[in-house]
Amino acid sequence: MALSMLSGDEQGIVLFQLYNVFDPRLAVDFSSVSHEVWEPTRALLQQLRADHKAAAALGHKAGMRSCKEMREAKEIKWMGKALSETDLATLGTLGSVLPALERLELLDSPTRVLRTHWGMLRLAERLGAGALQALTYFATNFVRVGNAGASALAAALDRGALPQLKELYLGNAAIGDVGLMGLASALRWRPTLERLILWRNPFGDKGIAALVAPPPPQVAPSPPTRLLAKLKELDLEDTHVTDAGCAVLAAALDSGALPDLTRLELGNIPASAAAKAAVYAARGNLVHNASGSGSDSDSY
């Protein structure tokens, strides 16, 4: 048989092309054509079976009745499911086989937010180039991302994951200055980003400066690009931004950064009322939640 004439490495390459955790039948059929093919591909086939089982279990947690339903889903929402690190790592590996997914929400319970959680790091580490290619909306709430998770997400974006991302919600995610400084480099030139929700994170002036006023590049971009050019909404409520951070933000707005921004939330931050007023004065069309708390982000 022609297939049995292939070397073990060549058979592995063919099986890898058939590797689909949602539909392993083709790979199984290929591996079963003869003993000469089955023996060198056995280890990879065993891994495929394990991955298929993990993907099916993850889909079940999301309320999916079958792998086919998960593969074709446009929206996946886990609410209060207490996803484990292993679950989120599995989700990361599925990024290349969820071509229809447009909205992904990972929402945990406020009673669990303080637990140590490295799941977002594991998820981001496994998102390769082109992963989640149709995703426009990614939201976490009460899920501990942390500085390490934010940096890993930045690396995934730099690799080409989530190329169509328009809305990013990282509420109450334990992201400090270090995390936002790492994430900022991946976000500020994103051509599609329209909403960035960062409420109730412990970053301050250094983080916001990295996002809106990075140092000029050593080589000027050509053609010139504008910082966060499509961003319409930025939520910084309940963060640690002070008067100094507000001054940086006001200067950035005055210089033309964030040209499409129309909504900016600065409620419940340490900055003075005068400093916040100066930010809004820098861009006359900005609107915000007048009460300074309880904005729309509470529902994210």
Average pLDDT over residues 235-259: 96
* Confidence band for 41, pLDDT divided at 50, 70 and 90: low
- Report the run of H or E that residue 16 belongs to, with start and end: helix 8-17
Q: At residue 10, does pLDDT exceed 50?
A: no
CA 93 – CA 113 distance, rounded (Å): 24
Q: At residue 283, does pLDDT exceed 80?
A: yes
- Phi, psi angles (nearest 5°) of residue 117: -150, 110
The top-scoring range by mean pLDDT among 3-12, 46-55, 169-178, 222-231 is 169-178
Model pLDDT, residue 296: 46
CA 275 – CA 50 distance, rounded (Å): 56
Q: At residue 201, does pLDDT exceed 50?
A: yes
Q: At residue 263, does pLDDT exceed 50?
A: yes
Model pLDDT, residue 57: 87
Model pLDDT, residue 84: 82
ω into 223 cis (within 30 of 0): yes
What's the mean pLDDT when you consider all of the chain?
81
What order of strands is seen across the sheet that includes strand 167-171? 75-79, 103-107, 137-141, 167-171, 195-197, 233-235, 263-265
Model pLDDT, residue 266: 98
- Phi, psi angles (nearest 5°) of residue 141: -150, 130
CA 191 – CA 175 distance, rounded (Å): 23
Model pLDDT, residue 25: 56
* pTM: predicted TM-score of the whole model, two decimal places: 0.83
Q: At residue 130, does pLDDT exceed 50?
A: yes
Q: Does residue 249 contact residue 283 with C-beta atoms inside 8 Å?
A: no
For 61-109, what is each residue's pLDDT tens digit? 888 888 889 889 999 988 766 678 888 899 999 998 899 999 999 887 6
